Amino acid sequence: MFERQRSGSVVCPSCNRLVGVNEPQCPHCGRVSPGMFGYARALQRISGGESFVPFVIGTCSLLYVLSLLFGFDGGSGGLMGMLAPSRESVFAFGASGWQPIFGFGRWWTPLSATWLHGSLLHIVFNMMWIRQLAPALMRLYGPGRAVLIYLIAGVSGFTLTSCWGYVAPGLPVVLRGASVTVGASASIFGLFGALVLYGRRTGNQALARQVRTWAVVLFVFGLVFPGIDNWAHLGGFAGGFVAAAVLDPLKPERPDHLLAALIGLLLSLLAVGFSLVHYFGIR
C-alpha cells in the first residue's frame, strides 16, 4: 500500500497536472517536491471514498460502547435517554461545551465531541443520517474534501455553541449554548450546508431545495424536543457551507485535500485520546 514510486510521473498534489515523480519542483505551479518523495500515488490509492461511512459508524459505535462501560446513567430520560453514558463519562472522552472549554481549559474538544454520543437513539439517528448524506458528498466533492467539510463543520458547530453558552448563559434553555455537548449532528448539518452550497453553485435548484427542507425540518425538530444542541446544528451548517464554498465543488479534488483530510482525522481522534489522558490528570 505504501510502496514508494521511483520513476514515471504523478499528478501534482497542488495543481493536478502531470509531473515527474523525482522532479524537485512542479514546473506548472512551483510546488516543492510534487512527487512527495515517491508517496503521492500511495496517498491517492488509500483515498477509498467508500470506507469513510463504515469508518465513522465503527469509530462512533466503539467510542459509544466504551463510554457506556466507563460510566452508565441508568436511563432516566425515557426513550431518548435510553442507554446513556454518564455526564462524567462523555466529559472524560472529550465532550465539548462551555464547561469543558472555559471551565476546564479543554479547548481541543470541538475536535473530539463529534465522535461521541449521549444515548442509543442519538447515535442510531446520527449514523442513519451519515449513511444517507455522506456518499452523495463523497461523489460531489471527492473523499478528501468531504471529510474536511465533515470535520470543519463539527469544529465550527461546537465552537459556536460553547462560546455562545459562555457569553450568554442566562437565556431560556432553547436559546442557550450547550454546557456539555456531544454528537455527530454538527457535522451532519455541515453536510447539509455543503449540499445546499453544491446545489446553488451548480444551478441544481431541486437539490438545494430538497436538502434545505431536510435541514429545516431537522432543525425545527431540535427546537421542539428538549436537550438538542441547536447552536451546534446552526454552527455546523454554517461551517459546512463556508468550507464547501472555499473548497469549491466546481474544481477537481487535489491530493492535498486528501492529505489534509487524513491529518484532520488523525488530529480529531488524537483529541479523544488526549481528552482521556487529560481527564485522569485533573481528576
Give the Å distances, CA to CA, from 276 to 72, 95, 118, 206, 249: 17, 11, 17, 44, 37
Give the Å distances, CA to CA, from 171 to 87, 167, 176, 199: 22, 10, 5, 35
Nearest distance from residue 262's CB to Zn ion, in Å? 20
* Site residues (CB under 5 A) for Zn ion, limited to 26-55: 26, 28-29, 31
Please say which residue, 20 or 81, places its beta carbon nearer to Zn ion.
20
**Residue 66, interface with Zn ion (CB under 5 A)?**
no
Tell me which H or E stretch contains 18. Answer: strand 18-20
Distance in angstroms (rounded) separating the CA atoms of residues 129 and 217: 13
Among 5, 14, 22, 44, binds Zn ion (CB under 5 A): 14
Nearest distance from residue 40's CB to Zn ion, in Å? 11
Nearest distance from residue 33's CB to Zn ion, in Å? 11
**Residue 262, interface with Zn ion (CB under 5 A)?**
no
- In DSSP notation, 123-173 reads HHHHHHHHHHHHHHHHHHH-HHHHHHHHHHHHHHHHHHHHHHHHH-TTS-G
Please say which residue, 15 or 66, places its beta carbon nearer to Zn ion.
15
- Cell output for 270: 488524537
Candidate ranges 14-22, 158-166, 196-204, 234-242; the one touching Zn ion (CB under 5 A): 14-22
Please say which residue, 26 or 137, places its beta carbon nearer to Zn ion.
26
Determine the residue type at 3.
Answer: E
Please say which residue, 35 or 240, places its beta carbon nearer to Zn ion.
35
Distance in angstroms (rounded) separating the CA atoms of residues 192 and 178: 21
Tell me how many residues contact Zn ion (CB under 5 A).
7
Compose the 104-133 pattern: x for residues touching Zn ion by CB under 5 A, - for all others. Answer: ------------------------------
**Residue 87, interface with Zn ion (CB under 5 A)?**
no
Alpha helix (H) ranges present in the chain? 40-45, 52-70, 87-93, 98, 104, 109-112, 120-141, 143-167, 185-202, 205-224, 230-247, 255-282
Distance in angstroms (rounded) separating the CA atoms of residues 44 and 256: 10
Please say which residue, 32 or 250, places its beta carbon nearer to Zn ion.
32
Distance in angstroms (rounded) separating the CA atoms of residues 143 and 151: 12
**Residue 176, interface with Zn ion (CB under 5 A)?**
no
Among 10, 12, 178, 242, binds Zn ion (CB under 5 A): 12
Please say which residue, 31 or 117, places its beta carbon nearer to Zn ion.
31
Nearest distance from residue 13's CB to Zn ion, in Å? 8
- Angle at which helix 120-141 crosses helix 185-202, to 10 degrees, equals 30
Please say which residue, 26 or 243, places its beta carbon nearer to Zn ion.
26
Candidate ranges 18-26, 38-46, 100-108, 262-270; the one touching Zn ion (CB under 5 A): 18-26
Q: Report the candidate in 161, 205, 209, 164 with the shortest Cα–Cα distance to residue 185.
A: 161
**Residue 9, interface with Zn ion (CB under 5 A)?**
no
Residues that bind Zn ion (CB under 5 A): 12, 14-15, 26, 28-29, 31
